[in-house]
Amino acid sequence: MLRFLAGLVGLGFVSALFIAFVMPREKVEPTAASIYHLPEKEVKFSFDGPFGMYDREQLQRGFQVYKEVCSACHSMKLVAFRDLEQIGFTKPEVKAIAKQWAVEVPSINPDTGEAATRKALPSDYFPSPYANETAARAANNNALPPDMSLLAKAREGGSHYIYSIVTGYQAQPADLLKRFPDAKTPTGLHYNPYFANLNIAMPPPLVADGQVTYADGKKATVDQMAQDVSAYLMWAAEPKLENRHRWGVVVLIYLLIATGLAYGAYRNIWRDKKH
Partner 1 sequence: MSFPWAENYEPKHPLMKWMDAKLPLPRLVYNAVGAGYPVPRNLNYFWNFGVLAGVALTIQIVTGIVLAMHFASNSDMAFTSVEGIMRDVNGGWLLRYMHMNGASMFFIVVYIHIFRGLFYGSYKAPREMVWLLGVVIFLLMMATAFMGYVLPWGQMSFWGAQVITGFFSAIPILGDPIHTWLLGGFAPDNAALNRFFSLHYLLPFVIAGVIVLHIWALHIPGSGNPTGVDVKGPQDTVPFHPYYTAKDGFGVGVFMIVFAILLFFYPNYLGHPDNYIQANPLSTPAHIVPEWYFWPFYAILRAFTVNWFWIPAKLWGVLAMFSSILLLFFLPWLDNSPVRSANYRPAYRIAFWVLVVDVLILGWIGKSPAEEPYVRIGQVAAMYYFAHFLLIVPIIAMVEKTKPLPNSISESVLHGEAEEAAPIGVGSAH
Residues that bind partner 1 (CB under 8 A): 2-3, 6-7, 9-21, 23, 25, 28, 50, 78, 83, 146, 149-150, 153-156, 158, 196, 237, 239-240, 243-245, 247-249, 251-252, 255-256, 258-259, 262-263, 265-266, 269-275
Q: Which is nearer to partner 1, 91 or 246 (CB)?
A: 246
In one letter, which amino acid is 220?
A: A
CB-CB contact of 74 with 65 (8 Å):
no
Measured from the CB of residue 174, what is the shortest distance to partner 1 in angstroms? 28
Measured from the CB of residue 225, what is the shortest distance to partner 1 in angstroms? 24
Instruction: Name the percent of the chain in helix, strand, coil, to the closest 5.
Output: 50, 5, 45
Environment class of 230 (CB within 10 Å of its CB; exposed 0-12, middle 13-18, buried 19+):
buried
Q: Which is nearer to partner 1, 142 or 259 (CB)?
A: 259
Q: Which is nearer to partner 1, 40 or 224 (CB)?
A: 40
Measured from the CB of residue 243, what is the shortest distance to partner 1 in angstroms? 7
CB-CB contact of 260 with 267 (8 Å):
no
Q: Which is nearer to partner 1, 170 or 247 (CB)?
A: 247
Q: Which is nearer to partner 1, 105 or 150 (CB)?
A: 150
CB-CB contact of 53 with 193 (8 Å):
no
Contacts of 40 (CB under 8 A, 6+ apart): 157, 160, 161, 163, 164, 194
Distances in whole angstroms, Cα of residue 137 to Cα of each of 117, 145, 162, 201: 22, 8, 21, 11
